[in-house]
Amino acid sequence: MDYTVHYDTVERYRDTGQGIVVPVTLRLSPQNEVRLEAKIDTGADYCIFQRVYAETLELDVRAGHRQRFSTTTGDFTAFGHEVTLIAMGIELASVCYFFENEAIRKNVLGRIGWLNKIRLGVDDTQSPGHVYGGRPESR
């Protein structure tokens, strides 16, 4: 049985040796945004970014929703704030978390707030690989 899936955008991705990394913009307003790179992590529950990006957006990090996370490598605290998240040309309102600890240097696009709002395809059969994205309601 054949299936057809439609995507709105395609992008070459950069494999950093630690996963698939794509450009991301976090925005509070057209005059207040920050650009970064984030790893697509289908095993992560939430979108979590370095604290420095919240500070660049002039967010009071600790004023956000406090959440404690547990991973196989340890626990950490992050704070959630509603921002506009733009990745692969798709713009979404999303609650994104920012690490409490300034020393953590990871940026992750996770399930809640990103993957659960888009359609995602990955073609890793060639180098560079491609990621395909679309809104679920498209087509």
Residue 104 has pLDDT above 80, yes or no: yes
What pTM value is reported for the model? 0.91
Residue 101 has pLDDT above 80, yes or no: yes
Q: What is the pLDDT of residue 32?
A: 96
Three-class secondary structure of residue 120 per DSSP: strand
Q: Among the listed ranges 36-40, 116-120, 135-139, which one has the minimum average pLDDT value?
A: 135-139
* Fold of the domain spanning 20-134: Cathepsin D, subunit A; domain 1 (2.40.70)
Residue 56, Cβ density class (10 Å: 0-12 exposed, 13-18 middle, ≥19 buried): middle
Q: Confirm if 96 and 49 have CB atoms less than 8 A apart.
A: yes
Average pLDDT over residues 104-115: 96
Q: Confirm if 24 and 36 have CB atoms less than 8 A apart.
A: yes
Residue 138 has pLDDT above 70, yes or no: no
Q: What is the pLDDT of residue 94?
A: 97
Mean pLDDT of the chain: 92
Task: Please state, as a whole number, how many other Cβ atoms lie within 10 Å of the Cβ of residue 47.
Answer: 28
Higher pLDDT residue, 139 or 15?
15
Q: What is the pLDDT of residue 19?
A: 87
Q: What is the pLDDT of residue 1?
A: 87
Strand order in the sheet with 130-134: 9-12, 130-134, 119-123
Tens of pLDDT, residue by residue over 118-134, are 999 999 888 888 999 99
Here the tokens at position 81 are: 């704030």
* Chain-centre distance for alpha carbon 72: 20
- Rounded Cα distance between 128 and 130, Å, is 7
Task: Please state, as a whole number, how many other Cβ atoms lie within 10 Å of the Cβ of residue 5.
Answer: 9
Percent of the chain topping pLDDT 70: 97
Q: What is the pLDDT of residue 4?
A: 87
Report cis status (omega within 30 of 0) of the bond before 128: yes
